[in-house]
Amino acid sequence: MQCGRCTSLRQMIDRDVDIPTPHGSMNTFITHPEEGGPHPVVFFYMDAPGKREELHDMARRLGTAGYYVVLPNLYYRGAREFNVFSGEPTQTREAMWELLSSLSVPLITSDTAALFAHVDEDPAADAGRIGCVGYCMSGPFSFAMACAYPERIKAAASIYGVRLFGPGSPAEGASKARGELYFACAELDEYAPAEMVDGLERYLDEVGANARVERYPGVHHGFAFPGRGPIYDKAAAERHWERLHALFARNLT
């Protein structure tokens, strides 16, 4: 006799794809359910340490809920593979900061156009329903893409994002965003001080953005990553997953 619970299990498809951009080939991890497509799309923008298996597993967790998840290597212009935790002698924190500083909102806007072009052509992806999430350095990129592509990005999340508010930040374009915005902010975050978070929240309210800023008490920058040792906070990480799933369920399904 077949178990009803077993029939609902999703078989996932993982793929590594080189997506062409004006600057080269952007190596990208894609995961989505085998059946039931086309699936709503989530662009997953990596954190500073690099695209790695830890992030692939996080992408899979989103994918098993029924999404076509796209995780590009944003460092592809300078390094096809980079993981500051790998122990490789060339993959140092100094190299990470150099790669990080080479990125900009205009470059990520161009890269995201290439992601749109890819999902527009893949029958497994429902390119009419797209959201995005960015961690750490990519929190502002996720925010900025919601502003740059208001017709396409239905929901965007920033998880302990940096540089979210102030001169030259994505907040300057917040009034353009039409999708729902969510900001998860760690209370003890040296890269995203409380005054920045407070200013962001006030500004989003002033411009009437469909946004929520949520403070996660007692946790540090990086709390959602299981590989971060004592910084990882399971309760806060699970809250962020609940918020992400609810955000995308409201806007993409």
Q: Is residue 2 part of a domain?
A: no
Q: In what order do the strands lie in the sheet with 12-21?
A: 12-21, 24-33, 68-72, 39-45, 125-135, 153-159, 180-188, 211-220
Q: Is residue 99 part of a domain?
A: yes
Which percentage of the chain shows pLDDT scores above 90? 94
- The pLDDT confidence band at residue 227, using thresholds 50, 70 and 90, is confident
Q: Which are the contacts of 83, defined by CB distance < 8 A and separation ≥ 6?
A: 49, 50, 51, 52, 91
pLDDT for the residue numbered 229: 85
Q: Is residue 59 part of a domain?
A: yes
Tally the domains of the chain: 1
Tens of pLDDT, residue by residue over 48-84, are: 999 999 999 999 999 999 999 999 999 999 999 999 9
CA 62, CA 81: separation in Å to the nearest integer? 23
Span 158-185, average pLDDT: 96
Q: Is residue 168 part of a domain?
A: yes
Which of 51, 45, 53 shows the shortest CA–CA distance to 69? 45
Tens of pLDDT, residue by residue over 187-224, are: 999 999 999 999 999 999 999 999 999 999 999 999 99
| Alpha-carbon distances of 38 from 42, 72, 244, 252, rounded to whole Å | 13, 20, 20, 12
Tens of pLDDT, residue by residue over 76-134, are: 999 999 999 998 999 999 999 999 999 999 999 999 999 999 999 999 999 999 999 99
pLDDT for the residue numbered 9: 56
Longest CA span, the chain: 63
| Residue 217 CA to its chain's centroid (Å) | 22
Q: Is residue 6 part of a domain?
A: no
Q: Is residue 237 part of a domain?
A: yes
Record the pTM. 0.94
Span 14-40, average pLDDT: 97
| Alpha-carbon distances of 114 from 22, 57, 111, 141, 190, rounded to whole Å | 9, 23, 5, 15, 33
- Computed over every residue of the chain, the mean pLDDT equals 94
pLDDT for the residue numbered 6: 38
Span 169-186, average pLDDT: 97
Structural domain boundaries enclosing 183:
14-252
Question: Where on the phi/psi map is residue 117: left (φ > 0), alpha (ψ -120 to 50), or beta?
Answer: alpha
- Torsions phi, psi of 225, nearest 5? -95, 115
pLDDT for the residue numbered 10: 63
Q: Is residue 5 part of a domain?
A: no
Q: Is residue 170 part of a domain?
A: yes
**193: domain CATH number?**
3.40.50.1820
CA 173, CA 181: separation in Å to the nearest integer? 13
CA 20, CA 79: separation in Å to the nearest integer? 15
Evaluate if residue 184 carries a pLDDT over 70.
Answer: yes
- The pLDDT confidence band at residue 228, using thresholds 50, 70 and 90, is confident
